[in-house]
Amino acid sequence: MDFVFEPEAITTLAVHDSLKRFPVRRIYCVGRNYSEHVKEMAATLGGEAGKQRADEPPCFFTKPADAIVTDGKAARYPSRTQDLHHEIELVVAIGKSGANIAVPDAWDHIYGFATGLDLTRRDLQTASKKAGQPWDTGKAFDDSAPVSEIHTIDQTGRVESGRIWLQVNGEMRQQADISDMTWGIPEVIAELSTLFTLAPGDLVFTGTPAGVAAIQRGDVLEGGVDGVSRLRVEIV
């Protein structure tokens, strides 16, 4: 097949204890999935973020697959921001296609789990929210999605609890438990699958706990989900 120009290589992630790699198709992200993070964002946005309730469906946004930075690599500090924030998250890797997935069936669609960082241009995101505009410029920029290697669900079991944490230059910034999520993994997958047909290769960032804060060039971020994986990335 002839192309107008050479296509970019497929974005892939390492799989723990395997020579095979996981090809990334799409990246979906859940907003406001930890109540304490909702509270701290409400303070930033004058109460707007506090409108999210557990009886409402989660909100979603996306990142491009080529925004991924793999474990141990450097992430470039983005342009047009003075307020880059870290958000540590459990990432779900989808291994089976589905639409309108029932909550009890959601686990069957999971290939594995990883640790991710939803890097955010907070000043641009805040301006977009106040103007009622999409979050793309604040969320979907280059190098905005560092992700660790994937551990399969056979290796981890169903991840329903466990410490999620992040250190910046050795100082603990974020720490909570996966069980603190407002919507658990099956509920997130079920709701997302009513909006998009999920397919093998999709990643789902499941939200971040409280403690998000600014980072600078030269900072080293190390975090993880206990029983799943760890992630290390330097901001350059």
Query: What is the residue extent of each domain of the chain?
Result: 12-235
Look at residues 56, 185, 46 and name the one whose alpha carbon lies nearest to residue 110: 185
Considering the four listed CATH numbers 2.30.30.100, 3.60.21.10, 3.90.850.10, 3.30.70.3420, the one that applies to the domain covering 12-235 is 3.90.850.10
What angle (nearest 5°) sits at the alpha carbon of residue 132, between those of residues 88 and 126? 40
Tokens, residue 95: 């291994």
Q: What string of H, E and C letters represents the secondary structure of 110-143?
A: EEEEEEEECCEEHHHHHHHHHCCCCCHHHHCCCC
What pTM does this model have? Answer: 0.94
In order along its 236 residues, the chain shows pLDDT tens digits of 899 999 999 999 999 999 999 999 999 999 889 987 778 876 555 544 444 455 678 899 999 999 999 999 999 999 999 999 999 999 999 999 999 999 999 999 999 999 999 999 999 999 999 999 999 999 999 999 999 999 999 999 999 999 999 999 999 999 999 999 999 999 999 999 999 999 999 999 999 999 999 999 999 999 999 999 999 999 99
